[in-house]
């Protein structure tokens, strides 16, 4: 029964995958993250243990969903935006639960000085650090591109002969990072990433 419920969840989630966006301005956040608890309900069982780990290890953007009745949880962090983090964490919680529709948002991880009204595409903490490095590598007479996936995978290029080649190399490197991330993820997170199209890489910035 649990497998059939999980399959239904994955089918619904797959229909909600967002279309790729065009390259745009990037909103670079600082390094520090902050936990924002959305509920004061007490956690028990494995959910309590998982939340301790989440608070200790998670970096923005991250989310933690809980099935309070079953003491089960699902977490995700390192996503390029809070919407992706919540989507992955919610599906992870649902897959871990016997009754998946009992999962609720318990906490978020955001940049310490996050301003939701600020314009521009956001990146994960790692993405922000990598974007600075990518920017430093660019030359005025060559092309570069920066690609990400909703899972938080990153790939970028520099010193390419054309914009097309820059995009191709960036996506190629991002795809490689996404495959590595998927391989090392827990079973529930692998299913969540596949369901949401979280592994699909797209170019979000061109250096020229």
Span 87-141, pLDDT tens digits: 999 999 999 999 889 999 999 999 999 998 888 899 999 999 999 999 999 999 9
User: Which residue positions in the chain have pLDDT lower than 50?
Assistant: 1-23
Report DSSP state, residue 81.
Answer: S
Cis peptide before 61 (omega within 30 of 0): yes
Do residues 208 and 143 touch, judged by C-beta distance below 8 A?
yes
Tell me the CA distances in angstroms from 37 to 61, 128, 138, one per residue in order: 14, 24, 40
What pTM was estimated for this model as a whole? 0.84
């Amino acid at each position: 029964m649990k497998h059939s419920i999980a399959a239904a969840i994955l089918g619904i989630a797959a229909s909600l995958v967002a279309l790729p966006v065009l390259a745009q301005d990037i909103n670079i956040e600082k390094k520090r993250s902050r936990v924002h608890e959305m509920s004061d309900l007490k956690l028990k069982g494995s959910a309590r243990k998982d939340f301790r780990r989440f608070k200790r290890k998670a970096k923005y953007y991250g989310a933690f969903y809980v099935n309070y009745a079953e003491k089960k949880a699902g977490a995700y962090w390192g996503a390029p935006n809070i919407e992706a983090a919540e989507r992955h964490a919610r599906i992870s919680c649902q897959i871990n639960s016997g009754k998946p529709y009992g999962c609720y948002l318990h906490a978020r991880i955001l940049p310490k000085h996050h301003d939701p009204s600020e314009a521009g595409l956001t990146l994960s903490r790692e993405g922000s650090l990598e974007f600075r490095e990518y920017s430093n590598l660019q030359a005025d007479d060559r092309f570069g591109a920066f690609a990400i996936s909703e899972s938080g995978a990153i790939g970028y290029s520099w010193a390419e002969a054309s914009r097309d080649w820059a995009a191709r190399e960036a996506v190629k490197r991002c795809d490689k990072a996404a495959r590595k991330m998927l391989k090392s993820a827990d079973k529930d997170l692998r299913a969540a990433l596949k369901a949401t199209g979280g592994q699909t890489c797209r170019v979000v910035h061109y250096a020229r």
